[in-house]
Amino acid sequence: MQTRVHFIEELSRLNHDVLAMGTRVEESLRKALEALKTQNVDLAKEVKAGDELINALQIKIEDQAAVLIATQQPVARDLRELVTVFKVTDNLERAGDHAVHLAKAAIKLAGEPPFRQVDRLVRMAEIECGMVRGAVDAYLNQDAEAARRVAAEDDAVDVEHKLVVREVLELMRERPDQVERAARLLTTSGFLERLGDHMTNICEAVVFMVEGRHVELND
């Protein structure tokens, strides 16, 4: 019994750090989003600087999970939960990287009249801020149905991405002098589209943790 109490306490500490990591990623994405909307270069630089903390949290969490697996030798649901931790932190770290990419785009696009397609990038990032929070909450609450609902939000991100691609390609044809800046919009939209995929990956991992079966959401 004492061993079980210790395991639960350690898992609680680990999940506290997962929440902290998810919160940091969401904050980074919101800062990058605000930097893009307001052309605030200083705010964008804060996102780049804060990425190291996200990476440090990933290492800390995964080290804790590895120790629990090695010392407690969990089975069944407990083992699935610990395996899921690695999937959650890996995808959160990648989402943090994409927030940095968005911040870099904000810096590159600052100082010039914004393209109207930036509004689509903003909508994508706004949806994904909610997805980050929702995916982490689904993990912490062990809620497979909530995970499915969060993953479904990626459809709206995909729609915006396809529209960005179509509109930017048209812009390149009409404004060849703006090809370089327009290409940056395409690249940024691609990063945001993949960020949504990473949140879907977390949601799939949550379903596996809770139900013990692998699923593909939004395939």
> What are the φ and ψ backbone dihedral angles of 74, each rounded to 5 degrees?
-70, 160
- For residue 31, how far is the Cα from the chain centroid? 14
- pLDDT tens, residue by residue, 18-69: 999 999 999 999 999 999 989 899 999 999 888 999 999 999 999 999 999 9
CATH number of 2-211: 1.20.58.220
Question: What pLDDT shows up at residue 45?
Answer: 92
- Do 102 and 29 form a contact (C-beta atoms < 8 A)? yes
Please report, for residues 33, 92, 127, the alpha-carbon distance to residue 29 in angstroms, rounded to integers and kept in the order given: 6, 11, 11
Q: Is 161 exposed, middle or buried (0-12, 13-18, 19+ CB in 10 A)?
A: buried
Q: For the chain, percent helix, then strand, then coil, each to nearest 5?
A: 90, 0, 10
Question: What pLDDT shows up at residue 63?
Answer: 96
Question: What pLDDT shows up at residue 219?
Answer: 65
Residues in the chain predicted with pLDDT less than 70, given as ranges, are 1-2, 219
Would you list the domain boundaries of the chain? 2-211
Question: What pLDDT shows up at residue 1?
Answer: 57
Q: What is the largest CA-CA distance in the chain?
A: 71
